[in-house]
Chain A
Amino acid sequence: MSATVPEAAPAASGDETPERRFPTAPLFLSAPAVLLFAALVLIPLFLTALLSFNQFDYATGRTGGFTLEHYLSVLTDEYYLEIFLRTFRISALATVICVVIGVPEAYILSRMSNPWRSIFLLVILAPLLVSVVVRAFGWSMLLGPEGPVNAALMAFGIGRMRLLYTEGTVIVALVHVMLPFMVIPVWTSLQKLDPAVEQAALSFGASRGTAIVRVVAPQILPGILSGSLIVFGLSASAFAIPGLLGGRRLKMVATVVYDQYLSDLNWPMGAAVAALLLIANLIVMLTYHRLVEGHYRRRLG
């Protein structure tokens, strides 16, 4: 932290001609955020990246030096590839389901009149007030072999099903946790929408459905886009949900990183997996952003 302070100080106490002085106010104003970002994000990331190139031996532990061995083993090992594929498949499905549920939810919310709108907004946000771990345990009790869902299945004569430790359960729980992150950005972009635009569509003979598809949906696309990016990013790096509901068998990338760090004590390997997850996540998100945003930039600004 102290490194950047002397950098700004001379400029402030500097010469007497204000018109030639380098503008220091923006630097000072952005400094707290920059410092926080550097301390909490950039430095740990940099250290993780360094760590991932360290050599490792099970007998002696981390030995320093430089190697690409961890990256190569992740990229060539079927086991890791399958986990990466599964992670992105689960995240993509959770995102799609969040769009399908969250967008209509936000639309209905925006059409509500005020006592109800505030109440339902609170209901949607309420899950965020409960720890993810608690919610994951809630799902595991609900879906467990002796849980109420299985009890109901038995009562209807369908028979007991193994619900825990399946992809479906992980997706359901992820959707539950991520839904507010889809509803809020979509709701925000709906707020910016001129209600007369939908009325205009109706006045020209469009049915309500056509008006929503042709006129409302394209305009809230930026909101859907940012919601999708948040949901996908958080799902792909989710730890508590797959850890508690996926169990030992259904691993996702974040749980593998955890295993490498704490079970195998292979820190460089864990760091390499984490770095690859970050890179893969960035590629997926940037591509998606390019595809959708680029298409609408000229129209909506």
Chain B
Amino acid sequence: MSFLELKNITKRYGPLTAVGDVSLSVEKGEFVSLLGPSGCGKTTTLQMIAGFVEPSAGTIRLDGRDITRAKANSRGLGIVFQSYALFPHMTVFDNVSFGLEMQRVPKGERKPRVEEALSLVHLSPYAKRYPRELSGGQRQRVALARALVIRPPVLLLDEPLSNLDAKLREAMQFELREIQRKVGTTTVMVTHDQAEAFSISDRVVVMEAGRITQIDQPYRIYEHPETEFISRFVGKTNLLPGKVTTATGAGATVSLAGIAVPVEAAGLSVGETVTLCIRPEKLHLTVPTNGLLTGRVADRFFLGSQWLYHIDGPLGTLMVVTPNDGSTPAEQGATVGLEWSPSVVRVHRGAMAEAPDVALEVTG
């Protein structure tokens, strides 16, 4: 049986369902991220685990014990808040020591444990400082040490890195994962940043409009998004509407504005409307005569390790990402061919939803 289990958790605010029928099992020692756009119910779900919000229906079990209605201060979970929520009138040491004090850990035992937690987050020299004398990254680490020192069964992280600048955020991502591995605490993190969720989680839970739409390992969510929403939300993607023209067992041919494209997908029927989803890095530039289709380089952006091209062609504008391997990039205005292998094309049934702004907004 899993360590932390949410079963059909629902939270309604009047007529509004913030979280609907969420079920999730987290194994001991696992790092699980709840990923989704703002307002998708991920934070509410975390607050129900923490005990700050009472579910309207469903049960939460921790290590076999039903904690659905247990008070927040009896759950013993370690929580890192988005705003860190450090106690501003206490030193770093006292902040970390607070949880132990509340658990009535004897004074003699408290000091070594606080020191251990502070050295885990590399803050030992700052024990006597007050929170406002620390940088954002240091405050974040105090919050982490404060949550870990009580040796919680589950560590809850609410957008822990969103208040840090980009560079520090990346460094803290890896540090967070390293610390989590070292202490082995079961961790649930809420984030809207897919890069953050992917780089440090064992499994990612994608939420949309209060519901879980996919639970999987990060690379599987990226490669095999189950819905069009996920393929838009997670990474960049090219979405192409088409119609199935032939279907033969494990394969099919889809006509995209008159161009026949082979795909690997079973169970499609001729005449069905589908949306093809191709990641920009799966498209390759080639000489015009060689590709599945040709196009013109409308724009190109240098991203350091990569080039991002916008290619105008018969299917509209496609995004193509190529690694910067040192070779000369395609010039703006040049005519190029595009090729890809049928195995990288994902097929979603049904027409494309009219919400292209999501893809533009989330291009992390």
A residues near B (Cβ < 8 Å) are 194, 196-197, 199-208, 210, 214-215, 218-219, 296, 298-301
Q: Within the complex, which residue of B83, B89, B146 is in contact with A196, where a contact is CB–CB below 8 Å? A: B83
Within 8 A of A (CB), among B87-117: 87-90, 98-99, 102-103
Given contacts A196-B82, A210-B102, A299-B130, contact A205 B88 (CB under 8 A): no
Residue in chain B with minimal CB distance to A296:
B89
11 A-B pairs with C-beta separation under 8 A: A194-B85, A196-B83, A199-B50, A200-B79, A200-B81, A203-B73, A203-B79, A205-B99, A208-B73, A218-B89, A219-B89
Residue in chain B with minimal CB distance to A207:
B73
B residues near A (Cβ < 8 Å) are 50-52, 72-79, 81-83, 85-90, 98-99, 102-103, 130, 132, 146, 150
Q: Which residues of A contact B130 (CB under 8 A)?
A: 298-299
> Would you call A203 and B50 a contact (CB within 8 A)?
yes
> Would you call A202 and B85 a contact (CB within 8 A)?
no
Count: A-B pairs, CB below 8 Å? 71
Residue in chain A with minimal CB distance to B91:
A299
Given contacts A196-B82, A299-B130, contact A204 B146 (CB under 8 A): yes
Given contacts A299-B88, A299-B89, contact A202 B72 (CB under 8 A): yes
Q: Which residues of B contact A215 (CB under 8 A)?
A: 87
CB A145 to nearest CB in B, in angstroms, measures 51
State the CA gap A299–B130 with chains docked (Å): 6
State the CA gap A200–B87 with chains docked (Å): 9
Q: Within the complex, which residue of B75, B81, B99, B150 is in contact with A199, where a contact is CB–CB below 8 Å? A: B81
Q: Which residues of A contact B150 (CB under 8 A)?
A: 204-205
Q: Nearest 7 A-B pairs (CB), nearest first? A: A204-B99, A205-B102, A196-B85, A200-B85, A218-B89, A196-B81, A203-B79
> Would you call A205 and B76 a contact (CB within 8 A)?
yes
State the CA gap A253–B88 with chains docked (Å): 41
Residue in chain B with minimal CB distance to A299:
B89
> Would you call B98 and A204 a contact (CB within 8 A)?
yes
Given contacts A194-B83, A210-B102, A298-B130, contact A202 B73 (CB under 8 A): yes
Q: Within the complex, which residue of B77, B89, B102 is in contact with A300, where a contact is CB–CB below 8 Å? A: B89
Interface of A is mostly: helix
Residue in chain A with minimal CB distance to B98:
A204
CB B150 to nearest CB in A, in angstroms, measures 6
State the CA gap A196–B77 with chains docked (Å): 15
State the CA gap A301–B89 with chains docked (Å): 10
Q: Which residues of B contact A202 (CB under 8 A)?
A: 52, 72-73
Given contacts A203-B79, A205-B73, A206-B73, contact A197 B85 (CB under 8 A): yes
Q: Which residues of A contact B103 (CB under 8 A)?
A: 205
Given contacts A196-B85, A203-B79, A219-B89, contact A301 B72 (CB under 8 A): no
Residue in chain B with minimal CB distance to A199:
B52
Given contacts A199-B79, A203-B77, A296-B89, list 10 more A-B pairs with CB under 8 A: A199-B85, A200-B81, A200-B87, A203-B51, A203-B72, A205-B103, A206-B98, A214-B98, A215-B87, A219-B88
CB A221 to nearest CB in B, in angstroms, measures 8
Residue in chain B with minimal CB distance to A215:
B87
State the CA gap A296–B51 with chains docked (Å): 32
CB B99 to nearest CB in A, in angstroms, measures 4
Q: Which residues of B contact A206 (CB under 8 A)?
A: 73, 98, 102
Q: Which residues of B contact A300 (CB under 8 A)?
A: 88-89, 132
Residue in chain A with minimal CB distance to B150:
A204
> Would you call A301 and B87 a contact (CB within 8 A)?
no
Residue in chain B with minimal CB distance to A206:
B102
State the CA gap A176–B86 with chains docked (Å): 37
Q: Which residues of A contact B73 (CB under 8 A)?
A: 202-208
Q: Which residues of A contact B51 (CB under 8 A)?
A: 203
Q: Which residues of B contact A219 (CB under 8 A)?
A: 88-89
CB B179 to nearest CB in A, in angstroms, measures 19
State the CA gap A218–B131 with chains docked (Å): 15
> Would you call B98 and A201 a contact (CB within 8 A)?
yes
Q: Which residues of B contact A200 (CB under 8 A)?
A: 79, 81, 85-87, 146
Interface centre among A208, A214, A296, by most B CB within 10 Å?
Answer: A214
Residue in chain B with minimal CB distance to A204:
B99
State the CA gap A200–B146 with chains docked (Å): 10
CB B16 to nearest CB in A, in angstroms, measures 16
State the CA gap A219–B86 with chains docked (Å): 12
CB B237 to nearest CB in A, in angstroms, measures 35
